[in-house]
Amino acid sequence: MNQIRPIYKKELLGYFRSPVGYVILAVFHLMVIGLALYSGYYQRNQASLVTVWQTMPWVLVVFIPATGMRLWSEEKRSGSIELLFTLPISPRAAVLAKFLAALSFICIGLALSFSLAITTGYLGNPDWGVIFSGYIASLLLASAFLSITAVCSSLTENQVITFVISVSICLFATLVGSGWVARFASDLLPTGIVEFIRLLSFEQHFQTMAKGLIDISSLSLYLGLTLACLGINMIVLEK
């Protein structure tokens, strides 16, 4: 914990030492609210955040790579990564500190979007259990996307390359279980393999949790992938 705290504090404050962090938060907030309204938030005449959860995975596909692309790429570009590991800090502590700092920044972004939940509570009588379940799903999906971005960031010193690759991987993981992908894959692959691929869909598990159904398979997918990518991140840095 003593190794994690100073890096965590440095990384989290780093998001707010330049206008970039504020711009990312503002754009995220506007995208969540704007897409929810565009998707028929008021037209549904329901006190729920269904329209928010329908669009949240697609917002996170862009927001998370934008947040995490600098985690290791910036350290490698500036050469400060060599200084970092001359300090009495293990790669595991450095990886966890940077990951937790970025995840805390993401939590701030999600907290800002809670204004729409407050508005929903003012206009009607929503099921708060479902709303909080949606936020838990958003946090788990964000942590999985962030761990993928962290691995990509550790492989290159170019933040743009990190962003593009991370968005591509996260987008693929989100689309893999969609109906049109399944129909396309069913013409090429056996039914059993197609069904297995659909079980790996981030978007499908997210929508299940957003309905208030927090099951073991969804938790295992998100947490397992997050831990696996963090482990890969540590191995890359050690090499």
Share of the chain above pLDDT 70, in %: 85
pLDDT at site 99: 93
Cβ pair 70, 166 in contact under 8 A: no
pLDDT digits (tens, 9 = 90+) for 71-124: 888 777 777 776 777 777 787 888 898 999 999 999 999 998 888 888 887 877
pTM, whole model, 2 decimals? 0.88
For 69-102, b/e burial (b = at least 16 CB within 10 A) is bbbbbbbbeeeebeebeeeebebbbbbbbbbbbb
Mean pLDDT of 187-205: 67
For residues 153-161, give the mean pLDDT.
88
Mean pLDDT of 139-160: 91
Predicted confidence at residue 108, as pLDDT, reads: 92
28 or 4, greater pLDDT: 28
Residue type, 24: I
Q: Render pLDDT for 64-79 as a digit per residue (tens, 0 to 9).
A: 999 988 888 877 777 7
Residues 164, 85 contacting (CB under 8 angstroms):
no
